[in-house]
Each structure stands twice: as structure tokens, then as C-alpha cells.
């Protein structure tokens, strides 16, 4: 092998994982815009939009737990490919049903069911790709902080491409036909992982596993609960997700649907992702200088302040700036979470620990969506935004006094 090709060969697995994450994330990014739009264009009901959004998040609690165990028991590469194949089928079903039975067949119940199916399959693919990062980073000669930062930057890039393309495609092709692009993105992710060859990504050694899937899930839960920093991060993420998710999944779609501005909705979601992309890449460069605890506290407080200002529904440019700021400060959070999970969990438990942490983060999402939809219909967007932003501010203040967060800056 020639010297100029050797580095590329070492980085090959990492690049394939990053490309797969980009494609699968773009597919999910399109869905974030397309599913609520398909509901809201029927009758403009924020309640029905929240039902579909909840259907896309409720399965995540159980699915992410199972996904972590599936990754540890079946193998990371295999689970990633199966997950993306099933996700592609769930979104392709929307235009297939419309072609076979007419647009009226794609009603709220059907959309909720397909959103639930897609949500059930997605966590396995995300967990599988994330758990392959340490080995891929080691082969490429990257630090784990660097690899996690770039991985999350790619994920944010996917949510720049996805919602932006989604909004434009809805405006030109319609919401139903937009789902073809979503399915194609998942197929590209399958191809990338299909050619991946990486140690630890294949079928696990049965000798390293004990019991069945359910006992494995319990083992992962027990490990997270006994680790103080993982337990604390799980509860912070649970609260922040429950307060933030309705803003992105229901309130912004409701606001821009009422104004008949699908492209503007895409711009707002793109601003969040652009900020996240810059923040994640910035953390890759500055991770040796920044304290992880400081970054965490800054992100939670800034999100609360920004959501409070957005509650007054300022002009679009102001909303875009605030969303970019939120994305920027939150960009490093996922790399920090990944680092803690990857360095605290043993190899054979890595998938289950990632699954447990993800499922706990999703646990509060459905509750927030259940409350946000009816509240928006009854009292308006301004009150609903405030009902979410003020507790977020309180969460930021409370986090300052949590001693477990000091462990973020201690090597395991």
C-alpha cells in the first residue's frame, strides 16, 4: 500500500459511518417537516399534529432500550442495516398508499402509525453507528472527543440538509411525494454500512453475553443507575427533551402552517442545525481547553433564555438568530454525552448503556407533546412557549448545584 493511500484506508471505516449517519439523519430531518405538514394541511389542528409527533416519539422509549440490547447481541453492522431498511419501508409506505388508494387514505391515523413504525426502527441504527465510533476513531488515529464531535456535526449537517430539502420539496412536489426522498436517504445509509469492515462491528462473541435480551436490558439499566454521572445526565436530558421537543415538533410547525410558509419552517430547523454544526465542530477544536461542565451549564441556561424570547413570536430573522444560538451552545452536548457513555461503559455493555441513556431522554417527550398540542389550541402559541421555556430556565439554575457534573471533567 502506498503511503498516500494508507491514511485514507485507516479513515475508511470512520468515513463510512459518518456518511451513513448523514444519510439516515437527512431522512429523519425530512420526516420532521413532512409528517406534521401532512397533518396540518388537512385541518390546521395542533392537537392532531401533536398526536402524530407523539406517535413518532412514544415508541422511542421502548425501542431505544431494545436497540441497545440488539446491538450488543446481534452485532452493530447488522443492526444498522436492518434498522435503515425498515425505516425506509415505513416512510415509503406513505406515497405507496396514496398511489394505491388515493390521498384520502393517508389520514391522521395512518400517518401516526407510520411515524410510530419509523420511530421504532430509527434508534437501533443510531445506536449501532454510535457504538462503532471508538474502534473507527482508534483506527483513524483520532481522539474520541474529536470523533464524537465530528459525528455530531455530521448529524447536525443532516438536519440542515433534511429539513431544508423537505421544506422545498413540500413546496414543489407536495408532502406525500417528499417521502420518496426520505426512503432514498435510508437506502444510501444501508449501502455505506454494507461495505464497512471494522473490528467489533460484526457478530458479538457469545461468551461475552449473559442471559437473554431482557436480562441484558436490566443489566444496562442497573449500570446507568449505579454510575452517578450517567444517572445525572440521563435526568437532565429527560427534562430538557420534554421541554424542547414540542417547540420543534409542534409549535414551530403550527406557527408556520398558520402562515402557510413551509420553506420558513425549514429555515428555522436549518438554523438550529447550522448552529449545532458549528458548535460541534468548534468543540472538536477546543475540547482540550473547554470544561465539559461549563459547556453543559451554558447550553441549558441559553436554551431557556432563547425559548423565552421566542415565546413573544418576534420577526423571522430574530427567531433564526435565536435558533442558531441555541444550536451553537447545544452542539457540544451530544459529543460530551457520547464520550461519557463510551468511556464509562465496558465494551460488551456499550450498546445497552447508549440505549438506556437514549430511552430515558425520550421518556419525557411524549408527555411534553401531549400537553403542548391542546395547550396551543386552547391558549395560543405565546402561552405554550412560556410554559416550556420557564421550566427550562429553572433546570439551568438547578444544574449549577449538581455535584455529579464535576465528574464530566475527570478522566475515568
| CATH numbers and ranges of domains, the chain | 12-197 (1.20.1250.20), 214-407 (1.20.1250.20)
Above 80 in pLDDT, residue 53? no
Above 80 in pLDDT, residue 411? no
Specify the pLDDT at position 189: 93
Confidence of residue 103 (pLDDT cuts 50, 70, 90): low
Specify the pLDDT at position 353: 83
User: Of 42, 142, 130, which Cα lies nearest the Cα of 80?
Assistant: 130
258 versus 84: the higher-pLDDT residue is: 84
Above 50 in pLDDT, residue 287? yes
Specify the pLDDT at position 1: 39
Confidence of residue 17 (pLDDT cuts 50, 70, 90): very high
User: Of 313, 305, 304, 182, which Cα lies nearest the Cα of 251?
Assistant: 313
* pLDDT (average), residues 26-37: 80
Instruction: Collapse the DSSP code of 197 into the 3-class scheme (helix H, G, I; strand E, B; otherwise coil) and give the result.
Output: coil
User: CA-to-CA distance for 85 and 360, rounded, in angstroms?
Assistant: 25
Least-confidence region, from 55-69, 73-87, 202-216: 202-216
> How far is C-alpha 251 from the geometric centre of its chain's CA atoms?
18
Give the tens place of pLDDT for each residue, 302-313.
888 888 888 888
Specify the pLDDT at position 318: 92
* pLDDT (average), residues 260-266: 77
Confidence of residue 260 (pLDDT cuts 50, 70, 90): confident
> How far is C-alpha 361 from the geometric centre of its chain's CA atoms?
10
Specify the pLDDT at position 3: 39
What percentage of the chain's residues is helix, strand, coil (to nearest 5)?
85, 0, 15
User: CA-to-CA distance for 129 and 346, rounded, in angstroms?
Assistant: 17
**pLDDT exceeding 90 applies to what percent of the chain?**
6
Specify the pLDDT at position 220: 78
Specify the pLDDT at position 5: 43
Confidence of residue 2 (pLDDT cuts 50, 70, 90): very low
Mean pLDDT across the chain: 80
Give the tens place of pLDDT for each residue, 316-331.
899 899 988 888 887 7
Quote the cell numbers at residue 389. 421555556
User: CA-to-CA distance for 255 and 276, rounded, in angstroms?
Assistant: 22
Residue 8 burial (C-beta neighbours within 10 Å; 0-12, 13-18, 19+) = exposed
Determine if the pTM surpasses 0.95: no
Specify the pLDDT at position 195: 87
Confidence of residue 18 (pLDDT cuts 50, 70, 90): very high
286 versus 18: the higher-pLDDT residue is: 18
* pLDDT (average), residues 130-148: 85
Give the tens place of pLDDT for each residue, 160-208.
777 777 778 777 877 777 888 888 989 999 999 988 888 766 666 555 5
Tell me if 235 sits within 8 A of 21, measured CB to CB.
no
Q: DSSP class of residue 259?
A: T
Confidence of residue 19 (pLDDT cuts 50, 70, 90): very high
258 versus 62: the higher-pLDDT residue is: 258
Highest-confidence range of 114-123, 147-156, 169-178, 297-306, by mean pLDDT?
A: 297-306
Amino acid at each position: 500500500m502506498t503511503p498516500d493511500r494508507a491514511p485514507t484506508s485507516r479513515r475508511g471505516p470512520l468515513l463510512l459511518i459518518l456518511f451513513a449517519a448523514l444519510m439516515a439523519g437527512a431522512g429523519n430531518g425530512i420526516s420532521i417537516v413532512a409528517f406534521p405538514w401532512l397533518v396540518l394541511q388537512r385541518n390546521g389542528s395542533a392537537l392532531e399534529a401533536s398526536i402524530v409527533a407523539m406517535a413518532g416519539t412514544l415508541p422511542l422509549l421502548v425501542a431505544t432500550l431494545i436497540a441497545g440490547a440488539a446491538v450488543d447481541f446481534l452485532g452493530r453492522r447488522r443492526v444498522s442495516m436492518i434498522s435503515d431498511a425498515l425505516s425506509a419501508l415505513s416512510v415509503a409506505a406513505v406515497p405507496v398508499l396514496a398511489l394505491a388508494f388515493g390521498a384520502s387514505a393517508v389520514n391522521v391515523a395512518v400517518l401516526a402509525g407510520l411515524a410510530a413504525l419509523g420511530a421504532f426502527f430509527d434508534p437501533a441504527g443510531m445506536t449501532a453507528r454510535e457504538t462503532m465510533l471508538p474502534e473507527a476513531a482508534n483506527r483513524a488515529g483520532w481522539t474520541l472527543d474529536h470523533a464524537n464531535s465530528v459525528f455530531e456535526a455530521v448529524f447536525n449537517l443532516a438536519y440542515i440538509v433534511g429539513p431544508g430539502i423537505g421544506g422545498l420539496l413540500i413546496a414543489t412536489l407536495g408532502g406525500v411525494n417528499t417521502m420518496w426522498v426520505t426512503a432514498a436517504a435510508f437506502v444510501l445509509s444501508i449501502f455505506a454500512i454494507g461495505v464497512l469492515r471494522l473490528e467489533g462491528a460484526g457478530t458479538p462473541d457469545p461468551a461475552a453475553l449473559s442471559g437473554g435480551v431482557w436480562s441484558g436490558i436490566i443489566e444496562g439499566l442497573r449500570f446507568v443507575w449505579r454510575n452517578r454521572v450517567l444517572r445525572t445526565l440521563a435526568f437532565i436530558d429527560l427534562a430538557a427533551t420534554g421541554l424542547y421537543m414540542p417547540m420543534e415538533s409542534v409549535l414551530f410547525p403550527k406557527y408556520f402552517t398558520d402562515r402557510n410558509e413551509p420553506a420558513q419552517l425549514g429555515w428555522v430547523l436549518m438554523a438550529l442545525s447550522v448552529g449545532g454544526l458549528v458548535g460541534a465542530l468548534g468543540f472538536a477544536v477546543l475540547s482540550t481547553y473547554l470544561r465539559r461542565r461549563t459547556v453543559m451549564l451554558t447550553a441549558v441556561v441559553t436554551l431557556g433564555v432563547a425559548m423565552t424570547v421566542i415565546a413573544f413570536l418576534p420577526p423571522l430573522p430574530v427567531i433564526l438568530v435565536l435558533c442558531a444560538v441555541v444550536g451553537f451552545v447545544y452542539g457540544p452536548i451530544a459529543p460530551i454525552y457520547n464520550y461519557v457513555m463510551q468511556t464509562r461503559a465496558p465494551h460488551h455493555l456499550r450498546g445497552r448503556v447508549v440505549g438506556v441513556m437514549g430511552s430515558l431522554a425520550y421518556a419525557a417527550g411524549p408527555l411534553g407533546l401531549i400537553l403542548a398540542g391542546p395547550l396551543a389550541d386552547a391558549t395560543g402559541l405565546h402561552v405554550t412557549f412560556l410554559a416550556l421555556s420557564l421550566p427550562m430556565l429553572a433546570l439551568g439554575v438547578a444544574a449549577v448545584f449538581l455535584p455529579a457534573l464535576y465528574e464530566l471533567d475527570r478522566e475515568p
